[in-house]
Amino acid sequence: MIRSIPDAHRQFLLRALDTLADEPRIVGVAAGGSYASDTMDEFSDLDLVLATTVRDHAGVLEDAQGIAASLGPLVAAFTGEHVREPRLLICLYDGPPPIHVDLKFVALPDLRERVEDPVILWEREGRLTQALQEGRASYPQPNGQWIEDRFWVWVHYAATKLGRAELFEVLDFLSFLRGVALGPLMLARARQRPSGVRRQDLVPPTLRDTVASYDAQDAARALRASIAEYRSLRDGPALITHRADAERVAVAYLDDVATRLP
């Protein structure tokens, strides 16, 4: 076990591994996320990979709820279609304290393509080790040109919502920009895994300016701050083609809308 794992998570994991060892269709268990980086705290979830053979995979997926229930006091569970991952079962176990556990049921060959190298917790006959050795981890990096091609259209869209006083839409949009563009670009520049706006120790103070209150003037200010932050981040290691005309049009439109705000 890693050093940073909280006691409650440790106890859950020990019981779960004992139970899974008695499930013959499971050939290995690994942990990713903050367990793999040894950065867990009391607020962490457990990201577990449950490996199966190809032959048993469909049956295990059908029984996923039952397998999850066998690991502890399960109070809720649902599959991960909202993140395009139907093999994922997102679980909440009663405590104290309650623990969030993601169970990802993966056939051994599918482990060749993965976003991180998990820590193997238990396996049968080295089969999980062998499957991981047949591929390598590669986390998707932000595509600067893809973002630039869309960014100014997004800004124009937000300005239309601002002009219409649909402030919840604008606030959602600001969060979207941080998660899809600003956060990943910032983390990639710091040579960290570019997952949203995680790693608060790497978040520049200027990113706080992109957060707005439920106020039209403040939302306009936060939109401008988001533009400034993006301009400081977009020219990373890979050169991109600036969409200068779209930038000019979108920023001018935002400025015009802002002058008409109450």
Distance CA 6, CA 8 (A): 6
Helical (H) or strand (E) element with 123: strand 119-123
> In whole angstroms, what separates CA 78 from the centre of its chain?
17
Query: Residue 200: its pLDDT value, please?
Result: 60
Q: Strands 119-123 and 136-137: what pairing?
A: unpaired
Q: Domains in the chain, ordered, with CATH?
A: 7-137 (3.30.460.10), 144-259 (1.20.120)
Query: Residue 199: its pLDDT value, please?
Result: 65
Distance CA 90, CA 104 (A): 9
Q: Is the dihedral of CA 157, 234, 171, 256 positive or negative?
A: negative
> Which residue has 């979830």 as its token pair?
45
Query: Residue 201: its pLDDT value, please?
Result: 61
pLDDT (tens digit, 0 to 9) for every residue of the chain, 262 residues total? 899 999 999 999 999 999 999 999 999 999 999 999 999 999 999 999 999 999 999 999 999 999 999 999 999 999 999 888 999 999 999 989 999 999 999 999 999 999 899 999 999 999 999 999 999 998 888 999 999 999 999 999 999 999 999 999 999 999 999 999 999 998 888 888 787 777 666 667 888 999 999 999 999 999 999 999 999 999 876 789 999 999 999 999 999 999 999 8
Q: Exposure of 30 by Cβ count < 10 A (0-12 exposed, 13-18 middle, 19+ buried)? A: buried
pTM for the structure as a whole: 0.85
**Structural contact between residues 77 and 90, judged by C-beta atoms closer than 8 angstroms:** yes
Q: Is the dihedral of CA 49, 43, 71, 8 positive or negative?
A: positive
**Structural contact between residues 121 and 127, judged by C-beta atoms closer than 8 angstroms:** no
Query: Residue 140: its pLDDT value, please?
Result: 86
Residues 6+ apart with CB under 8 A from 215: 167
